[in-house]
Amino acid sequence: MTITRLEPNHRRSRAVIHGDTIYLAGQIAADTAGDITHQTRGALANVEAMLAKAGSDKGKILSATIWLKDLKDFAAMNAVWDGWIDPANPPARSCGEVRLARPDLLVEIIVVAAR
């Protein structure tokens, strides 16, 4: 099977396609000046754009890992997630509190999807 890497650099690829499975790198909002609602929307927009670039969509997400800077943002993040996700095809999902790479980041979302 071939492996296709989307938007690679010296450290990582934004997505890797192996067979019919797509692995996305962690997605964050382009604009990290906003609150958790704003950043979650931005991260999900990037997830959606990368899935489209890889030939997939949010209805084919198999699993999602969501990292929050602070679990106090869990309900607000879920409000955005619940309005975005395909309710007929919810993925397996985990969520936890972690120290993210930069202090301005509130959420990072990683997904694995089918094509």
Catalytic residues: 95
Q: How far apart are CA 115 and CA 112, in angstroms?
A: 10
Q: What SS3 class is residue 82?
A: helix
For residue 65, what are the contacts with CB-CB under 8 A and spacing of at least 6?
A: 93, 94, 95, 109, 110, 111
Q: What SS3 class is residue 74?
A: helix
The sign one gets for the Cα dihedral 47, 21, 110, 64 is: positive
Q: How far apart are CA 8 and CA 84, in angstroms?
A: 27
